[in-house]
Structure 1
């Protein structure tokens, strides 16, 4: 095997073994889901940053830069804004409410489960996309480096993610994410620098990129512009990638994991800075891949990103690809964990009465089953829908989570928000967003980001209007105690 292959195999093996070793620390469901509230600022920041880097922030941005232009660096900006939004306005309330999943918030506020179940559906839509993307891109990397079949690479990727998650829990994934984040930034920064020097510096890279764009018939000025596709997709990216984040259940887990309440805000801000660096590095590599190999889209573009890493030298290429694997695992692990905790707590009847050990077993079994199903979908995606953009799919998943995020904002900061308004705001936003995407694809055959506008603007209007129509003069039995907990330091 080549040096690059040995580096990748060694990294995957080390992560798997570390996850298995960390499993000894998990003796209850609280250990697995929240680290029993004993984590410090660096572990929380690395864990959170890893959730936002993943395949979309690395291969997704690099591949989409090759095909649609430099405007994709906005993903880095929206990533920082997203984590800052949660840290400043939502993380502390989540901790004070003692939540394990985001759906529990609606039960605490209104005593009814329908909004909780609907929110869980919205969030699971995004998480299914993430749980499919990560093993798929690991398969693409392993296939490109070793020549193994794509399906086998997906199986290996899924096995690593499932093993690391099911065994190590939140604290284990956060600890390994410290390693992952260092490898990601250092490895991709190195390959970007080496690749640029090999081509004669940045001026030579841009000249070759211009030639590749001209050969492909692409407008160069538009491709290089940060608003090359107009403001419509940029605003849509902000709506989906930033506004959805408060409803992403994994951040409830991290809010509960903090050793002290006061470290939550700096932890999220630090995580935003770390995670935002990745898309900018990926964009540089995307420009270099375009300069060397021409404009490609979808899976073809992701293979080009793998090639530029390997062409930078066996050792450097191995480090770079290990960095991308780190990005995929760092996102896949916590997201799979949050998917399992949501499924058990929100969808399994009687789970609130489980003993800590029984719930731990349920979490682990659910993570394994969920991961296997996601891997099977990844195989179908890779072989039959391989030209699709990973970043496009992720932004669609993000958009589906915007309605409950807006609802949570109303619940926290507009006291007269009613349960009926929350339910219909989430339902209408999710339903119309999904319908607009289907119509867009099947009728107009367009890649426009219309779903994000529906999932954002519809609940923004529906929730206050329905609240005004359904306000009751009767005393609110749960409202005062709910808001009192929000004001009480944890």
Structure 2
């Protein structure tokens, strides 16, 4: 990747803003270290966090490379159809997690998503998911680290490898020191820093193109044309920028990929598990859904601005790949001082995303692999030590996977392929097992394995041109659908020929099987005060998602 065209004209003020941010982040890590007295403090913040903190951390943990660089790249490449990733592909699933699934997670007192699978199914299912989750988190951490390195390279002119190592070292220090609490408090800080960086960029960009109406006119004369300004009206077939029809969008993205990611991805669920009580845990993803509704203003819109202001954007290589839409806008539009805030906001977003991946990885490695299969019954200090070593190991592996991410001109295509491979079959296994008590332990294992293989087969066939799709993203939609359908069918068939688990073992793990937390009354109930009621808040969030579509149908 060439760097000269991305060099930013920074001065001492910009460097000072960035330095202050780094010092603050590390200070939070040192402060959080004092509160760590047990492994539960290190990995789950002692289950003591208020809902507003975990809610902001929940959405901030997702504001990494996927959100900032990836969604801006998609905005430039696919136009307003990128909004589907938010209003269909995120908010409904976040609400479902809070209302329906958190009572199972939090009420069963599990420490991770793989641990829930072990209790619901068996140890082979648990081990397969723990290992696949660890691999996925290292691959996704590499995406965030690559994007962070891209900014440091543009800012300082360092080689890519040096930028990757420096970025990794900063995240390593504060996660190793303060564990999940350090990650969460920094994610709340990073949420506001991210907005402080992206809002000025969006405003200046809109002023440059003549406001929203000026942007609309310029997009209409761009290669995207009017189709770049629509979300649903061109989805009767595949003749739209995304190359997908409404069935693939609703079923592949809106159901399988979205629910698979938001409801089973431990890097996100971990924030809710750290909440102080059941109601706070349920509200965590729903609180995060409200800023999620508006994040496209500072991601998708800048992508469109880059499309119409950066000559030649969309080249297959060099500085003009879609991934560079945000850095190119920063280079062209922002004055010093504001530039420093924007750079700091981008750095914050990538650090938040990578920290979420690493904190999820070290928890699953320590609890679900090391403690369960390698070293049982050791004292608490041993597992804290292992967690810190796992953090170092995860960062080192993430450095390697960052170079894999560097090979993709649009990292959203890469990361959606990962989600269809790892999250879609897991969601199918989860949802069937959570609501059907007859699903057997071995049905859980084989549905997860064969669902993953179905998605992998479709992806490899796409790469080899055996299966034809209109775009990489369309393949990820259908790959997710294939994984889900395969996993459900396998679950039904294998359950027919294998014995179910005893009902006593399913208490609190299956709907209607006892346990106050997972009763129908608990799932539909909430706080009497409306703004603390998960069902009421969730209904408002979904309604807003529908209403926001109307002007851009």
Confirm or deny a common fold (TM above 0.5): yes
Equivalent residue for 1:248?
265
Q: For 1:401, what is the secondary structure of its paired residue?
A: helix
- 1:460 to 1:244, Cα distance in 2 relative to 1, 3 A: farther
CA contact (8 A) 2:219 2:229 kept: no
Equivalent residue for 2:282?
265
In 1, the alpha carbon distance for the partners of 2:416 and 2:296 equals 14
- 1:219 to 1:50, Cα distance in 2 relative to 1, 3 A: closer
> Displacement of 1:165 after TM fit?
1.6
Where in structure 2 are there 5+ consecutive unaligned residues? 1-9, 233-239, 523-553
After superposition, give the CA deviation of every residue in 1:54-101 in whole Å (9 maximum; x if it has no partner).
111111010122123221121122222232121111112111211112
Select the residue among 430, 433, 436 that pairs with 2:455.
Answer: 433
CA contact (8 A) 2:14 2:337 kept: yes
Select the residue among 95, 100, 110 that pairs with 1:84.
Answer: 95
1:288-367 aligned at under 5 Å gives the runs: 288-294=305-311, 295-296=313-314, 300-310=321-331, 311-348=333-370, 349-367=373-391
In 1, the alpha carbon distance for the partners of 2:61 and 2:494 equals 34
Equivalent residue for 2:229?
224
In 2, the alpha carbon distance for the partners of 1:96 and 1:481 equals 7
Determine if the alignment matches structure 1 residue 188 to structure 2 residue 198: yes
Determine if the alignment matches structure 1 residue 464 to structure 2 residue 482: no
1:139-218 aligned at under 5 Å gives the runs: 139-211=149-221, 213=222, 218=223
Select the residue among 107, 124, 132 that pairs with 1:114.
Answer: 124
In 2, the alpha carbon distance for the partners of 1:454 and 1:339 equals 27
Select the residue among 234, 248, 265 that pairs with 2:249.
Answer: 234
CA contact (8 A) 1:67 1:297 kept: no
In 1, the alpha carbon distance for the partners of 2:297 and 2:455 equals 29
More moved, 83-92 vs 346-355: 346-355
CA contact (8 A) 2:104 2:517 kept: no
CA contact (8 A) 2:145 2:164 kept: yes
Equivalent residue for 1:277?
294
- 1:17 to 1:481, Cα distance in 2 relative to 1, 3 A: closer
In 1, the alpha carbon distance for the partners of 2:295 and 2:31 equals 29
Equivalent residue for 1:124?
134
In 1, the alpha carbon distance for the partners of 2:52 and 2:442 equals 40
In 1, the alpha carbon distance for the partners of 2:270 and 2:437 equals 25
More moved, 221-230 vs 30-39: 221-230
Select the residue among 106, 113, 116 that pairs with 1:95.
Answer: 106
Equivalent residue for 2:505?
478
In 2, the alpha carbon distance for the partners of 1:480 and 1:136 equals 43
Determine if the alignment matches structure 1 residue 378 to structure 2 residue 394: no
Where in structure 1 are there 5+ consecutive unaligned residues? none
Q: TM-score scaled by structure 2?
A: 0.81
- 1:296 to 1:10, Cα distance in 2 relative to 1, 3 A: farther
In 2, the alpha carbon distance for the partners of 1:336 and 1:397 equals 17
> Displacement of 1:379 after TM fit?
3.1
Q: Which has the higher helix share?
A: 1
CA contact (8 A) 2:272 2:284 kept: no
Compute the RMSD of aligned alpha carbons.
Answer: 2.4
> Displacement of 1:288 after TM fit?
1.0
Determine if the alignment matches structure 1 residue 398 to structure 2 residue 422: no
CA contact (8 A) 1:122 1:401 kept: no
> Displacement of 1:8 after TM fit?
2.8
CA contact (8 A) 2:59 2:289 kept: yes
CA contact (8 A) 1:106 1:116 kept: yes
> Displacement of 1:260 after TM fit?
1.5
- 1:363 to 1:16, Cα distance in 2 relative to 1, 3 A: same
- 1:481 to 1:86, Cα distance in 2 relative to 1, 3 A: closer
In 2, the alpha carbon distance for the partners of 1:237 and 1:393 equals 15
After superposition, give the CA deviation of every residue in 1:215-241 in whole Å (9 maximum; x if it has no partner).
xxx341333322433326524322213
In 2, the alpha carbon distance for the partners of 1:301 and 1:420 equals 44
- 1:84 to 1:468, Cα distance in 2 relative to 1, 3 A: same
- 1:320 to 1:119, Cα distance in 2 relative to 1, 3 A: same
- 1:221 to 1:200, Cα distance in 2 relative to 1, 3 A: closer
In 2, the alpha carbon distance for the partners of 1:153 and 1:105 equals 38
In 2, the alpha carbon distance for the partners of 1:132 and 1:197 equals 35
In 2, the alpha carbon distance for the partners of 1:12 and 1:442 equals 44
